[in-house]
Amino acid sequence: MANPGDDENCYYMPDPRYTFLCTDTDEIKCVICKHTKLSLPQDREQVEDSNPSFLPCGHVFGKKCLDVWLKTNNTCPICRFKLRHELCKHPISPRRLTKETYIYTPTSIPCGGTIPVQCHHCRRETDQKVGAELCIPLARTYYDLKNIFERTGSEAYGRAMAQAEKDLDKLMVALTPPEDRQW
């Protein structure tokens, strides 16, 4: 294994997506083992060590070399960037780069990317709890106003009902991750 502080052959900063598009891939080697040539596989191909795995700090390694490293470490082998979510402390998983997925990888931290304070699972649980506490009272208010409006036909209750519906929709959009807003 390479000395984790050794940046020799480190072609990946700040954004490996461009590295694999613009660099002769014969030159790109895993920095951990120093010999495996990295190349973008097809998404459906069997996982090999030559498949690059990308960390939030922008460093890329051979998939299997990085998996071995991460079994006993929770940092990047090069820069020691901590691979834990700040709030929930769950590990941040590396992203596998393939010919089909490299354009969908998140922006690296040096290029302005961010890491959520919670992993996807914990964020979803938190959003559901917050959503239930905030949405249920708003939904009750909406239905109470709707019932009064339907009984009385009062314009004031109609406007209040419409505003409650807008507030509820706005809250639900804010609590729903973008990937869950699409079919």
Q: Under a CB-based contact definition with an 8 Å cutoff, are residues 25 and 37 in contact?
A: yes
Our measurement of the distance from residue 149's CA atom to the centroid of its chain's CA atoms, rounded to an integer in Å, reads: 44
CB 119, CB 90: distance < 8 Å: yes
pLDDT band at 150 (very low <50, low <70, confident <90, very high): very high
User: What are phi and psi for residue 171, nearest 5 degrees?
Assistant: -65, -45
Mean pLDDT, all residues of the chain: 83
Q: Write b or e for each residue in 6-36: b if 16 or more Cβ atoms lie within 10 A of its Cβ, otherwise e.
A: eeeebbbbbbbbebbeeeebeebbbbbeeeb
Q: Is the pLDDT of residue 11 over 70?
A: no
Task: Compute CA distances 37 → 52, 61, 62, 147, whole Å.
Answer: 9, 10, 8, 68
- Element of type H or E holding 53: strand 52-54
Q: Is the dihedral of CA 11, 15, 16, 20 positive or negative?
A: negative
Give CA–CA dist 42/55, Å, rounded: 20
Band (pLDDT 50/70/90 cuts) for residue 5 is: very low
CA distances from 104 to 1, 66, 95, 96, 97 (A): 30, 20, 10, 11, 9
Rg of the chain over all Cα atoms, to the nearest angstrom: 24
Residue 63 · residue 53 · CB < 8 Å: yes
Q: What is the pLDDT of residues 99-113, one digit of tens each?
A: 888 778 888 888 888
pLDDT over 70 percentage in the chain: 86
What is residue 82's three-state secondary structure?
Answer: strand
Q: Kindly report, residue by residue over 23-47, the tens digit of the pLDDT.
A: 666 678 888 998 888 887 776 767 7
Q: Where are the domains of the chain?
A: 16-111, 120-180
Give CATH for domain 16-111. Answer: 3.30.40.10
One-letter amino acid at 159 equals R
With 70 as the cut, is the pLDDT of residue 14 above it? no
pLDDT at 3 over 70: no
Beta bridge partners of 96: 53
